[in-house]
Structure 1
Amino acid sequence: MTKLLSTIQKTVILAGIVMAAQGCKIDIEPTDRYTEEAVWSNPANMELYINGMYNEFRTFQFGQFPIGYDNATDALTDIMKYTSTVAGNGTVNILATDASRVNAAGPMLNYWQAGYARIRRINEFLDGLAKYGKVDAVAKTQYEAEARFIRGYVYFWLVKLHGSVVLMENLDQYSNKNNPRASEEDCWKFVAADFQFAADNLPKEWDAAHTGRATKGAALGMLSRTWLYAASIAEYDKKQFNQDPLTGVSAGSATTYYQNAATAAEQVIALANEGYYALEANFANIFTNKSTREAIFKLDFVAPQITHQYDFGFTPPGDAPGQPMVYGVPTAELVDEFEMKDGTAFSWSNGTMAANPYTDREPRFYATILYNGASWKGRTINTQPTNSVEGLVEYGSTPEPRKTVTGYYTRKMLNPLVNDFMVYKSTQSWIELRYAEILLIHAEAKAKLNDLGAAATSLNMVRDRVGLPDVNPANATQMMNAIEHERIVELAFEGHRYWDLRRWRKAHTVLNDVRFTGHKVTPAGSGFNYEVISADNLDRKFTPALYYMPIYVSELQNNTALTQIQGW
């Protein structure tokens, strides 16, 4: 759809040539292509174009970025381990253990070219809409709001990666091929302005014919996420990791940006109070219920035209022996993070817990993790090494094990009712933004504003949904520890952990010079023994330079005003 304009321009249209009686030529419409006016004055064309631009969200569905594999971003962190050791299926492991793989010649974590191609298409749409759009004022403003919502999302990713990027607001800027980077603070403000405009001009909900389009709530949710990121950089970066004059956010802006994040989140909460959003009573159902009110913005799939292969990539091999890839599996670090159902922290030093580690855990554990003894699709999962179908394989002992290397399999987002995914693929929705995240954003922003009461209220709404007792941390530090824990277990495998560690500037400690683990389960008397094993054969590496990704050398050659991020 996004290539509509170029496609139309190539269409040959037969037409007569009008000449003046005296034989003099007059100005005529070109006869071998549509003019811009002809394209943009047709409301049907605008509808096709804006629909096509929503394809950009598929770049990031199921945490695919940066390498096109589901959950790849989480596999760079402490909550997931990819099983393969070879380039392709195991590229994420190579990136996680070799920081030198990210460089200006081929940075791997790259979205620059694709992102700016999309921004160009969006700006062409906005230009054509403004000049030639033949729709009423309300529709024109809504089209602009949708386009700016998508542009804000693209820039959100570019700024997360690079900090300082080139801001292209309109087509006039393209006449000058040399455009410099803007400051990171101005970049976050630009993203926020796009989302704010979208929030001001999009409806609270669309009619059935426009299901899936961005709404006021989606724009406010992305606005709150944007300000939280900007505030985090302002608080935590402090120019410790990069001396580029254009990266970083003024520390003095942190309070304002946290307040902005809280305000936007509160507007989403107000929409929830009006009935537009709600926490799903059954946590597992969120990800398979296409009508869940927890989803604020999501991508839907309909077989056979639009599908994905999440189940093929992550389902336990017993679902279709010899066929699922088992790209990634949960780490022991994630498993141990889930509390007991009474809110007690899980601990292997507690004899009762250690003897039966998978008993009486909180509901999100059972909705997220498949473990030895778990009931799944009418069978009992067996991860003991002696099991030939689903038993643990030591990481690195075979290039493509297609089995767990940690003793666990993912459960979250798999469809427990579908067994024919190898033939028909999968259709669960990808939820880009959901209500629980908004509550956690609000809790974090309020904690940073030292409003611990409001922070606890939002945090405990997330906990109350799964029957966990309220927490009331005594100070902001304890509150942030509680929020980080909650984000780990609530948002696992939704593509947040890597970016959280980066914005909190904790990645260079949590993800560096460390190996993550699994649990090997073997029989012991009437029970089992749980041995901690390494799921990595090399130390993880995250250097401070990775907080700001390099720009492709070819882009610097194409734009002489563009300078490389310092440190690369």
Structure 2
Amino acid sequence: MKSIKTIYKTSTILLIILMVSGCSDSFLDVQDPNNITSATFWSSSEDVQLAINTLYAGEGNGFNTIWDGASEPSNLRGDDVVLTTADFANFNQYATFVNTPVNGVSDGIWDGSFNVIFGANTILKQIETDNNVPFDDEGLRARYIAETKFFRGAAYFRLAHTYGQVPIVLEPAETRDQFDNPKAATFEEVWDQAIADLQAAKDGLPEEQEDVGRVNKAVATAFLGQLYLYRAGYLNDNSFYSRAADEFKEIIDMGKFALVENWVDNLLAATENNAESIYEAQYDIFAGSYAATQPRAFNGSLPGIAGEIVFRPSAWLFEEMSRETTVDGALDPRLLNTIYFQGGFTLFGVPFEELGDGLVCQSGGSFTLDGAAVPTEFDGWFRKYLNVDLDCENPDAAVNNERIMRYSDVLLMYAEALVMSGGDLAIAAGAVNEIRNRANLAVLTFANGDELMAEIEHQRIMEFAFEGKRYYDLIRWGKLKEALDAHGFQDDAANIDEEKHKYFPIPLQEVNANALLDQNPLWQ
């Protein structure tokens, strides 16, 4: 069995086929890619697999990029993160809810999602609509159709809860420039399209795939459950909570996933693709691939550089994560592996070169910003996602896989769906206590659903801080303004229009280029 990391190596060249209907093959093939056309490329099932591979990574605009937690827009707007400096004007506008459609920090989610959709439509036209590619095994064709529809469905899911109303495009255009021309569909239609594709993926994907990291039935089921949970909150339709619970129960009943004993194993390179991981972005270093590494922290940079210079943990996050000790009186291991901080933890506030193994690739106690030396002794910084278990042989990038969907998330979403649908609270409490037990915390009992929901919210912070989930959680719970106001972000909360800021603005260039596409009225 091989890892899909090795398959990503074709994505840089093959993406050209999907983008311009023309001319590229695997770099392992000596044929001149300039002499290959779309007609000659789509000649075998192997070509189809290579094309599908581009949907995973795809020059920084593939599935992994739009779904990993490194998205500045979502992290900037949660209460778990504070802006490190106001010098980054665009980020500051997003963090303080005064951005306009001209800003563009969130535009990458739109671009990446529609690049995935465009690629998926191109593949589906060849193997489903026109049936152009010969297959010796028609079951393989069906599997590839299901795999491709997973990516299209997940992209529409991302668009549905990020922008609300977007165009639904199910046919490929001749070029990417001609792609975004229809008017926006309704909110419900966008969610329905995502559901249709993810359901088709779930029905058609096998339980296991030969390549480690390739999507399978469990991945599609988990995303479908998450979609139902999000739809219930975003569209205020409680009927979808029970549907979400059913999907998550299927994952649990599969019996193939479990919480790993040590929570930090969800972050390390040495423990990738473990029993807790349902889907993770397979990152690696190799020549010619833009999206080979995770776009967060860099092994050779100071804490705060390489994207993290924008963020640091909020004071509230530290308080929330440190409010309960283990049954042995120790700090929660999730806190210790998420934040470097002051007050009893030796890795805070020391010179960078003394931070320890895996963090010593570059020395120095300050970095230069706008010509001035800035000390590294922040009030706290994130440890999560740094290459703490890797040496310095690749100091320019972090290659520990990013776990995009893991079993702990399914357990907490299952518990939430049960509470919100009026399901069995004892089962929901059991799922929550399974999470608590892994962290060596005491078993809790809950008098009612409100108490249980409060603990679910707390455990989501403990598990997923800085993973881009908190902002979307607060939105779907209807608690964004309330949480920011209560957790030290009163000025930001004062700027929030709860209807307007439920979604990001449609990228200005898309509205300008498409006479049929209207900006969200609240963003005009």
Return the offset for 1:541.
4.0
Return the offset for 1:107.
4.4
Query: Is this contact kept in 1: 2:70–2:467, CA < 8 A?
Result: no
Shift of the 422–49 alpha-carbon distance from structure 1 to 2, 3 Å rule, reads closer
Return the offset for 1:459.
1.3
Is 2:296 the counterpart of 1:341? no
Is 2:272 the counterpart of 1:264? no
Is 2:291 the counterpart of 1:298? no
Query: Is this contact kept in 1: 2:484–2:492, CA < 8 A?
Result: no
Return the offset for 1:220.
0.6
- Local SS of the residue matching 1:511: helix
Match of 1:117 among 107, 115, 118: 115
In structure 2, the partner of 1:367 is 337
Match of 1:427 among 386, 399, 410: 399
Query: Is this contact kept in 2: 1:341–1:362, CA < 8 A?
Result: yes
Is 2:91 the counterpart of 1:108? no
Match of 1:443 among 415, 432, 447: 415
In structure 2, the partner of 1:146 is 147
- Relative to structure 2, which stretch is displaced further, 433-442 or 179-188? 179-188
Cα RMSD, aligned residues only: 3.7
Return the offset for 1:77.
1.6
- Relative to structure 2, which stretch is displaced further, 259-268 or 49-58? 49-58
Distance 1:412 1:177 in 2: 37
The amino acid of 2:263's aligned partner reads: F
Match of 1:548 among 500, 503, 519: 503
Distance 1:8 1:190 in 2: 25
Shift of the 201–483 alpha-carbon distance from structure 1 to 2, 3 Å rule, reads same
Structure showing greater radius of gyration is: 1
Distance 1:537 1:402 in 2: 27
Distance 2:411 2:306 in 1: 39
- Local SS of the residue matching 2:82: strand
Return the offset for 1:8.
7.2
Shift of the 538–112 alpha-carbon distance from structure 1 to 2, 3 Å rule, reads closer
Distance 2:520 2:339 in 1: 40
Q: How does 1:172-187 map to 2 (within 5 A)?
A: 179-187=182-190
Shift of the 463–75 alpha-carbon distance from structure 1 to 2, 3 Å rule, reads same
Shift of the 548–302 alpha-carbon distance from structure 1 to 2, 3 Å rule, reads closer
Return the offset for 1:325.
6.4
Query: Is this contact kept in 2: 1:512–1:543, CA < 8 A?
Result: no
In structure 1, the partner of 2:55 is 53
Distance 1:80 1:551 in 2: 24
Write out per-residue CA displacement over residues 114-165 of structure 1, whole angstroms, 9 at most, x where no aligned residue: 4323312211110111221212221111111111111112111111112122
The amino acid of 1:2's aligned partner reads: L
Q: How does 1:224-373 map to 2 (within 5 A)?
A: 224-235=225-236, 253-254=237-238, 256-271=239-254, 273=255, 276-288=256-268, 289-305=271-287, 306-308=292-294, 310-312=296-298, 326-338=309-321, 339-342=323-326, 360-372=330-342
In structure 2, the partner of 1:92 is 91
Return the offset for 1:337.
1.2
Identity of aligned residues (%): 26
Shift of the 402–79 alpha-carbon distance from structure 1 to 2, 3 Å rule, reads farther
Question: What are the ranges of 5 or more consecutive residues in structure 2 without an aligned counterpart?
Answer: 1-13, 25-33, 356-363
Shift of the 84–464 alpha-carbon distance from structure 1 to 2, 3 Å rule, reads same
Query: Is this contact kept in 1: 2:166–2:184, CA < 8 A?
Result: yes
Return the offset for 1:2.
2.0
Distance 1:314 1:409 in 2: 16
Shift of the 374–290 alpha-carbon distance from structure 1 to 2, 3 Å rule, reads farther
Shift of the 162–445 alpha-carbon distance from structure 1 to 2, 3 Å rule, reads same
Write out per-residue CA displacement over residues 282-331 of structure 1, whole angstroms, 9 at most, x where no aligned residue: 1112211114111100112233443346443797659xxx9996543222
Distance 1:268 1:482 in 2: 22
Return the offset for 1:173.
12
Distance 2:181 2:91 in 1: 34
Is 2:145 the counterpart of 1:132? no
Query: Is this contact kept in 2: 1:159–1:165, CA < 8 A?
Result: yes
Distance 2:100 2:306 in 1: 32
Match of 1:190 among 193, 196, 201: 193
In structure 1, the partner of 2:465 is 492
Write out per-residue CA displacement over residues 210-247 of structure 1, whole angstroms, 9 at most, x where no aligned residue: 22111111111100110000011233xxxxxxxxxxxx
Shift of the 61–188 alpha-carbon distance from structure 1 to 2, 3 Å rule, reads closer
Q: Give the TM-score normalised by structure 2.
A: 0.80
In structure 2, the partner of 1:14 is none
Query: Is this contact kept in 2: 1:329–1:404, CA < 8 A?
Result: no
Distance 1:143 1:124 in 2: 13
Write out per-residue CA displacement over residues 373-413 of structure 1, whole angstroms, 9 at most, x where no aligned residue: 666xxxx32428x99989999xx9997736353x2232323
Query: Is this contact kept in 2: 1:115–1:154, CA < 8 A?
Result: yes
Q: How does 1:39-78 map to 2 (within 5 A)?
A: 39-55=41-57, 56-60=62-66, 62-66=68-72, 73-78=74-79
Write out per-residue CA displacement over residues 249-303 of structure 1, whole angstroms, 9 at most, x where no aligned residue: xxxx41x2101110110111112x2xx2110101112211114111100112233
Shift of the 304–77 alpha-carbon distance from structure 1 to 2, 3 Å rule, reads same
Write out per-residue CA displacement over residues 154-211 of structure 1, whole angstroms, 9 at most, x where no aligned residue: 111111112122212234999998533222122212212211111111122212xx22
Distance 1:122 1:444 in 2: 32
The amino acid of 2:511's aligned partner reads: L
The amino acid of 1:4's aligned partner reads: I
The amino acid of 2:330's aligned partner reads: D
Shift of the 311–294 alpha-carbon distance from structure 1 to 2, 3 Å rule, reads same
Distance 2:300 2:79 in 1: 17
- Local SS of the residue matching 1:81: strand
Query: Is this contact kept in 2: 1:513–1:541, CA < 8 A?
Result: no
- Relative to structure 2, which stretch is displaced further, 332-341 or 122-131? 332-341
The amino acid of 1:439's aligned partner reads: L
Distance 1:153 1:123 in 2: 13
- Local SS of the residue matching 1:296: strand
Query: Is this contact kept in 1: 2:91–2:105, CA < 8 A?
Result: no
Shift of the 137–382 alpha-carbon distance from structure 1 to 2, 3 Å rule, reads closer
Distance 1:180 1:46 in 2: 30
The amino acid of 2:257's aligned partner reads: Y
Question: What are the ranges of 5 or more consecutive residues in structure 1 without an aligned counterpart?
Answer: 12-30, 67-71, 236-252, 345-358, 517-535
Match of 1:4 among 17, 20, 25: 17
